[in-house]
Amino acid sequence: MIDALIFATLNGLLTGLLLFLLASGLTLIFSMMGVLNFAHASFHMLGAYCAWSIGQFTGFWPALLLAPLLVGGLGALVERYGLRHVHRAGHVAELVFTFGLAFVIEQAVQSFWGPDTKNYQPPALLDFPLFTLFGQDFPAYKAFMLLISLGIFIGLYAVLTRTRTGLIIQAATTHPQTVASLGHNLPLLHTLVFGAGSALAALAGVLAGPVLGTFPGMAATLGSIVFVIVVIGGLGSLTGALLASLLIGLLQSWAIAVDLGMPDLLHWLGVEFPVDHPLRDIWRLNLPQLAPVLPYLLLVLMLIFRPSGLFGRREG
Amino acid sequence: MRHLLPWGIFALSLLLLPWLFPSVLGISILNEMAIAIVFALSYNMLLGQGGMLSFGHAVYFGLGGFLAAHAMLGMEQDGPVFSVTLIPLVAGIGGLLAALLIGSFSTRRAGTSFAMISLGLGELLAALSLILVGFFGGEAGISGDRSLGPDFFGFDFAQDRQVYALAAVWTFASTLLMYLFTLTPAGRMANAVRDNPERAAFLGYRVQRVRLLSFVVSGFFAGAAGGLFALHNEILSAQSLSTANSGNVLLMAYIGGIGFFIGPIIGAVLLTLINSVLSHYTDLWLLYLGISFVLTVMFLPQGLTGLLMMHVAPWRRGLLHTLLRPYLRTAVPALLCVSGLLALLETLHHQGEAVIFLGISLPGGQASNWLAIVLIITLAALDWHRSLPALRAAWQRATRGETP
């Protein structure tokens, strides 16, 4: 039991930090442009696929750098020539535009890279167990992922709070008119933030590709979860995004590790139900089954009882 | 009289189409179209008329459908036996109750919050449908037999043709009712709340109540569409309430045009056709559909109906014919450019294998071939660009009423 919990905690932390790489870009883009980018997870997927393709020629390490740059550039182009054009029609049109973009990217990946899972392996350099606990290996690559994610978080925090660009970005989220009238190029800033956010998502994709699988459905499975995180953390809040990422990551990984459910609860309460009871599915639910449902349940409850999220200052 | 003309045309086409396309496939496509029309219209009740962007409308479609499937299954297993003509009603009431429950909290806000709640609930139900095997039937789904109810004036609904008759009647009635709803004070208030919720609230209307009413009525018709779907397919799987189905109805409404009542009908007909016809010709049809959707959002925010409606003003002035020449001038390079792009995508997709495109065989994997296609695309695009000022000028002349 205890060994399963320790591994679940490590895996949960890892998932949480990876989710944060995605959520941080999404929340930053939202707070600047007021747009929830449905295609964010698609950039994540494109990152993994580009890295796999580039990796065929150069190996893992150059791809780790090149793929995010490529996808970041693509993101900047999307903002400049797509989103800015739709912006005039209002937020609903922007949301619908990014939704369509996510659809196109998923179809494009399926058409040109194929519907099967790519054999994307972690680099040979990191292909060894870092330590063994209770007879279970913890791969070095996962530790590397943890390290990079933590590094990015610290770097992002430093850039946003310590550098001039970061301060302008922060100012632009709350007082865009003032920033523009002080002579800063606001549209360029939007393009840069959108590009940087896409690059971060792509980096998460490059890192996650070998572990979580590189397949055309990876954007769809992750996309909604990242939305959940951004809403639970509070739209636009970076701290909220970090906490919500870790919360969701840990929650999901613990729910899978702990094999408890309604039968145990009913047993503890001393209640018995016949096997063919009409509501038998509900009496048989257990936590591993419920793991994929938990984030959405949390989202709906959050939106009902505290629509501004954990750390949000405004409602969507 | 003028109001009745479109309805006459609608009823007549519902009546005549099965005689024009009597094959099994034809009737099946017509059935799917009828279902899609009801579903897309119910969706536009939220997005177009109420300003609520939903990413989870398939929930009501799916729940209604599952209820209908269970009703049909019940007739097999000593449940209540009743005429299957009422199945869409049962499904509609299911959709209505679900919408009442969910809408009671989700309609508090419109905009991004509403979109997020609808997405969350859509994902929640899609995930639950795989867990609660008793109601949703798991991988296999729930199947029922539609011919077990009592005969309805000699119809036992075993054949697709008879189901089409039922679907056509339901579609006509639902379309009429949804249109009449837009004329009621509740429908008008939905428009007011969409455009300016603060002002509507200031005038003393309860904004949430207005939204909830639209939401519940929309849920009823989405459920009824689900019921028709269950009758047509006799099986329902988790696919029906997946987020992909919710996305599909958004595409239908948006491509058709959310600002017009008829828009979603056009979108539903077109997308059903694309779905069943284009998919035979190319593997990439979903990609093309997605690209068309993104281009619609960018350049035709009022959809295809909006594009048609733009031509009403020149037509009234009797200047529509002046647009013909500049249109043809633009269409030639535009078509060439688009076919070039399609050829490029198809050859890329087939990676080295020969592709037959528009009757021309394109051997894959040759650099000269690719170069030729790219050259054609570039030249056509340049010419297309050059033809645009003349079109713009002609368009301004036609709409301002100046004769050239």
pLDDT digits (tens, 9 = 90+) for B72-82: 888 888 778 78
Chain A residue numbers with beta carbons less than 8 Å from the beta carbon of B53 are 92, 95-96
A288 in reach of chain B (CB within 8 A) = no
Q: What kind and span of H or E run contains B361?
A: strand B360-362
Instruction: Please give the residue of chain A at the shortest CA–CA distance from B250.
Output: A96
A217 in reach of chain B (CB within 8 A) = no
pLDDT at A103: 92
A224 in reach of chain B (CB within 8 A) = yes
* Residue in B53, B124, B287 closest to A95 by CB: B53
Most confident of A201-205, A259-263, B35-39: B35-39
Q: Determine whether the interchain pair B113/A316 forms a contact, defined as Cβ–Cβ distance below 8 Å.
A: yes
User: In Å, what is the CA distance from B97 to each residue of A181, B5, B52, B186, B187?
Assistant: 52, 35, 19, 19, 20
Q: Which residues contact A273 (CB under 8 A, 6 or more apart)?
A: A266, A280, A283
Q: Determine whether the interchain pair A100/B127 forms a contact, defined as Cβ–Cβ distance below 8 Å.
A: no
Give chain B's mean pLDDT.
Answer: 87
Residue B204 is classified by DSSP as: T
Pick the residue with more confidence: B47 or B141? B47
Q: Determine whether the interchain pair B250/A96 forms a contact, defined as Cβ–Cβ distance below 8 Å.
A: yes
Pick the residue with more confidence: A126 or B267? B267
The HSE-up count of residue B297 (CA atoms within 13 Å, CB side) is 27
B132 in reach of chain A (CB within 8 A) = yes
Q: Determine whether the interchain pair A104/B115 forms a contact, defined as Cβ–Cβ distance below 8 Å.
A: no
C-alpha–C-alpha distance, residues B230 and B97, integer Å? 18
Instruction: List, as own/partner pairs, every contact residues B392-399 make where C-beta atoms lie below 8 angstroms and the sequence separation is at least 24, other chains included.
Output: B393/B326, B394/B322, B394/B323, B394/B325, B394/B326, B395/B323, B395/B326, B397/B319, B397/B322, B398/B313, B398/B314, B398/B317, B398/B319, B398/B320, B398/B322, B398/B323, B399/B313, B399/B314
Kindly calculate the radius of gyration of chain A based on its CA atoms and give it in whole angstroms. Answer: 21
Chain B residue numbers with beta carbons less than 8 Å from the beta carbon of A93 are 297, 301
Chain B residue numbers with beta carbons less than 8 Å from the beta carbon of A96 are 53, 250, 254, 297
Confidence band (pLDDT; 50, 70, 90) for B144?
Answer: confident
Closest CA to A18 of A196, A202, A193: A202
Q: Name beta bridge partners: B357.
A: B360
Closest CA to B221 of B93, B320, B102, B336: B93
Residues 19-48 of A with CB under 8 A from B: 36
B105 in reach of chain A (CB within 8 A) = yes
pLDDT at B139: 78
Q: Determine whether the interchain pair A36/B131 forms a contact, defined as Cβ–Cβ distance below 8 Å.
A: no
pLDDT digits (tens, 9 = 90+) for B184-234: 999 999 999 999 989 999 999 999 999 999 999 999 999 999 999 999 988
C-alpha–C-alpha distance, residues B10 and A311, integer Å? 53
Neighbour count for residue B223 (Cβ, 10 Å)? 35
Q: Which residues contact A255 (CB under 8 A, 6 or more apart)?
A: A287, A288, A290, A291, A294
A182 in reach of chain B (CB within 8 A) = no
Element counts in chain B: helices (H) and strands (E)? 17, 4
A107 in reach of chain B (CB within 8 A) = yes
A228 in reach of chain B (CB within 8 A) = yes
Q: What is the DSSP string of chain A?
A: -HHHHHHHHHHHHHHHHHHHHHHHHHHHHHHHH----TTHHHHHHHHHHHHHHHHHHH-HHHHHHHHHHHHHHHHHHHIIIIIHHHHTT-HHHHHHHHHHHHHHHHHHHHHHT-SSPB--PPPGGG-SEEEEETTEEEEHHHHHHHHHHHHHHHHHHHHHHHSHHHHHHHHHHH-HHHHHHTT--HHHHHHHHHHHHHHHHHHHHHHHHHHH-B-TTHHHHHHHHHHHHHHHH-TT-HHHHHHHHHHHHHHHHHHHH---BHHHHHHHHT----TT-TTHHHHT-BHHHHTTTHHHHHHHHHHHH-TTTTT-SS--
pLDDT at A72: 94
pLDDT at B156 over 80: no
Chain A residue numbers with beta carbons less than 8 Å from the beta carbon of B287 are 104, 107-108, 111
Q: Three-state DSSP class for B355?
A: strand
B111 in reach of chain A (CB within 8 A) = yes
Q: Determine whether the interchain pair A104/B124 forms a contact, defined as Cβ–Cβ distance below 8 Å.
A: no
pLDDT at B46 over 70: yes
Phi, psi values for residue A51, rounded to 5°: -65, -40
pLDDT at B250 over 90: yes
A277 in reach of chain B (CB within 8 A) = no
Confidence band (pLDDT; 50, 70, 90) for A314?
Answer: low
Chain B residue numbers with beta carbons less than 8 Å from the beta carbon of A113 are none
pLDDT digits (tens, 9 = 90+) for A47-93: 999 998 888 888 888 888 899 999 999 999 999 999 988 888 888 88
C-alpha–C-alpha distance, residues A299 and A225, integer Å? 9
Closest CA to B62 of B105, B28, B37, B98: B98
pLDDT at A211: 82
Chain A residue numbers with beta carbons less than 8 Å from the beta carbon of B251 are 100
Give chain A's mean pLDDT.
Answer: 84
Chain A residue numbers with beta carbons less than 8 Å from the beta carbon of B116 are 36, 227, 231, 299, 303, 316
pLDDT at B353: 67
pLDDT at B404: 47
Asked whether the CA dihedral A51, A52, A58, A59 is positive or negative, the reply is positive
Please provide the distance, in angstroms rounded to a whole number, between the alpha carbons at the two ends of chain A. Answer: 41
Q: Determine whether the interchain pair B112/A91 forms a contact, defined as Cβ–Cβ distance below 8 Å.
A: yes
Pick the residue with more confidence: A235 or B45? B45
Q: Determine whether the interchain pair A100/B297 forms a contact, defined as Cβ–Cβ distance below 8 Å.
A: yes
B250 in reach of chain A (CB within 8 A) = yes
Closest CA to A216 of A113, A74, A97, A68: A113
Q: Determine whether the interchain pair A93/B121 forms a contact, defined as Cβ–Cβ distance below 8 Å.
A: no
C-alpha–C-alpha distance, residues A229 and A26, integer Å? 10
* Residue in A85, A228, A316 closest to B111 by CB: A316
Q: Determine whether the interchain pair B134/A316 forms a contact, defined as Cβ–Cβ distance below 8 Å.
A: no
pLDDT digits (tens, 9 = 90+) for A112-154: 888 888 877 777 777 777 777 776 777 888 888 888 888 988 8
Closest CA to A61 of A124, A138, A128, A139: A124
pLDDT at B224: 95
Residue B22 is classified by DSSP as: -
Residue B356 is classified by DSSP as: E
The ipTM value here is: 0.88
For residue A294 the two structure tokens come to 């938990």
B368 burial via Cβ count (<10 Å: 0-12, 13-18, 19+): exposed
Q: Determine whether the interchain pair A107/B286 forms a contact, defined as Cβ–Cβ distance below 8 Å.
A: yes
Closest CA to A199 of A166, A232, A152: A152
Q: Determine whether the interchain pair A107/B290 forms a contact, defined as Cβ–Cβ distance below 8 Å.
A: yes
Chain B residue numbers with beta carbons less than 8 Å from the beta carbon of A279 are 134
Mean pLDDT of the B131-139 span:
80
- Residue type present at position B292: S
Q: Determine whether the interchain pair B132/A36 forms a contact, defined as Cβ–Cβ distance below 8 Å.
A: no
Q: Determine whether the interchain pair B123/A101 forms a contact, defined as Cβ–Cβ distance below 8 Å.
A: no
Neighbour count for residue B108 (Cβ, 10 Å)? 17
B195 in reach of chain A (CB within 8 A) = no
Instruction: Please give the residue of chain A at the shortest CA–CA distance from B291.
Output: A104
Portion of chain B with pLDDT greater than 70, in percent: 94
Instruction: Please give the residue of chain A at the shortest CA–CA distance from B129.
Output: A293
Neighbour count for residue B31 (Cβ, 10 Å)? 25
Mutate which of B102, B109, B124 to test chain A, going by most A C-beta atoms within 10 A?
A: B124
Closest chain B C-alpha to A119 CA, distance in angstroms: 19
* Residue in B106, B113, B287 closest to A104 by CB: B287
Asked whether the CA dihedral A236, A240, A242, A247 is positive or negative, the reply is negative
C-alpha–C-alpha distance, residues B87 and B35, integer Å? 14
